[in-house]
Chain A
């Protein structure tokens, strides 16, 4: 691993997440390196989105810590949190676009608040960001007037408005057709490649995972903890956990580990 020496951008240590007394995942410890495309994987209902919400500070961990650039985010003051958050770009499962604003206003909002740019400059940046995601000319449309795939791309345009250090995606390709989904993946990869941003995404789309990710963590619903982490391509063939190999091969046989994977499938 050549990148092992680079400092962790995000480190999650000993994190336990719970709704009241109901524990969702416990003892999560992993690191995301600067420039990684990191995927949070796992079956439905295992707590992927919940983990993302914890990383975003929308939920408070029952135990453990999440640190950005070595600074604890859980213990940070509100002002420190806001400062950290301004270096992020986030797209939500449903897009999270402001329905009362046009696409241009959506993308312009973070710029107006934090960039200090004047109106004309902001207009230019908005036009550029929308063009980047293939929505040039859609400035005056409201989110309800465009398709789901376009909404996701518009959300991406807003997320990259301030050239963030970290991009978070909650199921970017959920509900998209294979072509749109592939286009969105390519877009994420190109943006990551050209800006060097760290990308964290929740996904269970295998195509996306293998296309773009170079690091991952697998959350297991049954044991309620992470059971493996690393490069998904490597995990597919070499994970010690049959469930992980099965997940990454859609439960079908893959190379020499095929028989075991099948066996696991029948047991369950």
Chain B
């Protein structure tokens, strides 16, 4: 070819006939110019017929066919006949293939405006649906639990043991770290304030009560929500994707009994134990900081002993059971209602953690208010 540079030229031969001459090498990166030049020129004339001439074409690849497809689509929309006889045979065939099926017209989905998303009514409706779904799931779990009590359930002990191990002993490492640190943080915060009154020794009371009633169980729950709750959601979501849940349902087994109940019971069984462990380590963590402030270990232990009371311990343990239920329900619900794609499984895991933590905070506030009202 004399001129390897790719280009095109549109000439109106007469009122109804236009000629599109393509020249040069139409290969990737050749920059032949924008298609809009053709469409705007076609608009100027009254052409009803467009002929493409490829006699001066050199090499060509998908660049050419992509351009021709734009021409063909434009011509179809404007009702102009597009004649491709003079083009290379391969390009004509590819163009015929690409235009064989008319482009799919997607029905326009109503895209909500930004102010729509802030609409309190829509928001209320959405959270209402979420609440309903959660309640439905909780109902199913309750029914399954009652069947378990009645001895009619398909829950397997093997699964329960497996989940107990996964949720309990293997979480000890991370619980050790978080609870020691939380104990130290509490002691540090308290000690700095109490020093002003020369009452450093009461740091032991503050740490002990704070850990037993509140922080020990809350930190354990947060760790379990992120660790076990998310794992439950991901496991069940993947099972949904793999048609495993379908297989269980059609085997005549309730997926809630078979999959959710062992997970839920395992979490309920290990959470109080983990909480006790976290309580102990939290108090030890507080002791480390107290030692740094000049309180002897004996003083710290004696003072802590005066603060330990059954009611503080019980509040923590009751909370641990409630939180375990909430984390398991949030995780399993997200997993069971997950979509059937890898993205949906990820979403389910995220949803599990977020809802679990919201549930935890709300439940914590509620339990504290109740305890205060009944002076427990």
Give the B-binding residues of A (Cβ under 8 A): 53, 56-58, 81-83, 85-86, 88, 90, 92-100, 109-110, 113-114
Give the A-binding residues of B (Cβ under 8 A): 154, 235, 238-239, 242-244, 246-253
Are B238 and A85 closer than 8 Å at their CB atoms? Answer: no
Closest 10 CB pairs of A and B: A96-B247, A85-B252, A96-B243, A92-B243, A82-B252, A86-B252, A56-B250, A90-B250, A94-B243, A85-B250
Nearest-neighbour CB distance to chain A for B346, whole angstroms, equals: 18
Are B251 and A109 closer than 8 Å at their CB atoms? Answer: yes
Nearest-neighbour CB distance to chain B for A242, whole angstroms, equals: 19
Given A99-B238, A113-B154, is A58 in contact with B251 using a C-beta cutoff of 8 Å?
no
Are B249 and A58 closer than 8 Å at their CB atoms? Answer: yes
Closest Cβ neighbor of A53 among chain B residues: B246
Are A98 and B252 closer than 8 Å at their CB atoms? Answer: no
Name the B residues within 8 Å of A100 (CB-CB).
Answer: 235
Name the A residues within 8 Å of B251 (CB-CB).
Answer: 85-86, 90, 109-110, 113
Nearest-neighbour CB distance to chain A for B242, whole angstroms, equals: 6
CB-based A-B contact count at 8 angstroms? 53
Are B250 and A97 closer than 8 Å at their CB atoms? Answer: no
Name the B residues within 8 Å of A95 (CB-CB).
Answer: 242-243
Return 30 A-B CB contacts under 8 Å, by A number.
Answer: A53-B246, A56-B250, A57-B249, A58-B246, A81-B252, A82-B252, A85-B250, A85-B251, A86-B251, A88-B250, A90-B250, A90-B251, A92-B243, A92-B246, A93-B243, A94-B242, A94-B243, A95-B242, A96-B242, A96-B244, A96-B246, A96-B247, A97-B244, A98-B244, A98-B247, A99-B238, A99-B239, A99-B242, A99-B244, A113-B253
Name the B residues within 8 Å of A86 (CB-CB).
Answer: 251-252
Given A99-B238, A99-B242, A113-B154, is A92 in contact with B247 using a C-beta cutoff of 8 Å?
yes
Name the A residues within 8 Å of B154 (CB-CB).
Answer: 113
Name the B residues within 8 Å of A53 (CB-CB).
Answer: 246
Closest Cβ neighbor of B100 among chain A residues: A268
Name the A residues within 8 Å of B250 (CB-CB).
Answer: 56-58, 85, 88, 90
**In the bound complex, CA of A99 to CA of B245 (Å):** 11
Name the B residues within 8 Å of A98 (CB-CB).
Answer: 239, 244, 247-248
**In the bound complex, CA of A86 to CA of B252 (Å):** 6
**In the bound complex, CA of A201 to CA of B253 (Å):** 22
Name the A residues within 8 Å of B248 (CB-CB).
Answer: 98
Name the A residues within 8 Å of B244 (CB-CB).
Answer: 96-99
**In the bound complex, CA of A113 to CA of B250 (Å):** 13
**In the bound complex, CA of A245 to CA of B283 (Å):** 79
Nearest-neighbour CB distance to chain A for B207, whole angstroms, equals: 41
Closest Cβ neighbor of B159 among chain A residues: A100
**In the bound complex, CA of A158 to CA of B354 (Å):** 38
Besides A90-B251, A92-B243, A96-B242, 9 other A-B contacts (C-beta < 8 A) = A58-B246, A81-B252, A94-B242, A94-B243, A95-B242, A98-B248, A99-B239, A113-B251, A113-B252
Nearest-neighbour CB distance to chain B for A146, whole angstroms, equals: 14
Nearest-neighbour CB distance to chain B for A186, whole angstroms, equals: 24
**In the bound complex, CA of A94 to CA of B247 (Å):** 11
**In the bound complex, CA of A171 to CA of B249 (Å):** 19
Name the A residues within 8 Å of B235 (CB-CB).
Answer: 100
Closest Cβ neighbor of A143 among chain B residues: B242
Name the B residues within 8 Å of A83 (CB-CB).
Answer: 252
**In the bound complex, CA of A57 to CA of B252 (Å):** 11
**In the bound complex, CA of A85 to CA of B253 (Å):** 9
**In the bound complex, CA of A95 to CA of B246 (Å):** 11
**In the bound complex, CA of A85 to CA of B235 (Å):** 25
Nearest-neighbour CB distance to chain A for B147, whole angstroms, equals: 11
Nearest-neighbour CB distance to chain A for B260, whole angstroms, equals: 15
Closest Cβ neighbor of B238 among chain A residues: A99
Report which of B243, B249, B252 forms a contact with A114, defined as CB distance below 8 A: B252
Nearest-neighbour CB distance to chain B for A154, whole angstroms, equals: 12
Nearest-neighbour CB distance to chain B for A135, whole angstroms, equals: 18
Nearest-neighbour CB distance to chain A for B341, whole angstroms, equals: 13
Closest Cβ neighbor of B235 among chain A residues: A100
Given A113-B154, A114-B252, is A90 in contact with B238 using a C-beta cutoff of 8 Å?
no
**In the bound complex, CA of A138 to CA of B238 (Å):** 24
Are B247 and A90 closer than 8 Å at their CB atoms? Answer: yes
Nearest-neighbour CB distance to chain A for B45, whole angstroms, equals: 34
Name the A residues within 8 Å of B252 (CB-CB).
Answer: 81-83, 85-86, 113-114
**In the bound complex, CA of A81 to CA of B249 (Å):** 10
**In the bound complex, CA of A114 to CA of B244 (Å):** 19
Name the B residues within 8 Å of A114 (CB-CB).
Answer: 252
Nearest-neighbour CB distance to chain A for B271, whole angstroms, equals: 22
**In the bound complex, CA of A96 to CA of B244 (Å):** 5
